[in-house]
Amino acid sequence: MLRHLARCPYPFGWQALARNPRTPAYLLGELCSRRDSTWNGNRLLRLVVEHPNADRAVLLGVLDELGNRLRTSTSRPYAAVLLLAGRPELMPDEVRHLAALPGASARMRGGLRRRLARRESTSGG
């Protein structure tokens, strides 16, 4: 059933899947590249980043997608960027480059710096 929902053409189905705690990581990875509208796409990425089954591979897929969106300045996926910065599966340096992309706002850059600094101070690194 979850696999069928992942392949449906409707963003509300993808979002329901991303909210379902039983969704496995491989299906979350498939959701990273789904596109409907800017708002739905950004919300979907945020939900995937928040998902407890999102492993390193899934989060790297989200990181790539966020980089693509910020490079083209076609959307503002700032909430997903800030949540991704808090995920321990990724190193701070892997996420930090998002601040330098053309679509990054000053507010997003500041929030990203603060979140990464908080992580580095609590990890002792």
Q: What is the pLDDT of residues 40-57, one digit of tens each?
A: 889 999 999 999 999 999
pLDDT on residue 37: 83
**Residue 102 burial by CB count (10 A; 0-12/13-18/19+): exposed, middle or buried?**
exposed
Which pLDDT score, from 0 to 100, does residue 124 have? 62
Of 46, 33, 125, 34, residue with least CA distance to 87: 46
Contact call for residues 15 and 47 (beta carbons, < 8 A): yes
pTM of this prediction? 0.90
- Residues above pLDDT 90, as percent of the chain: 70
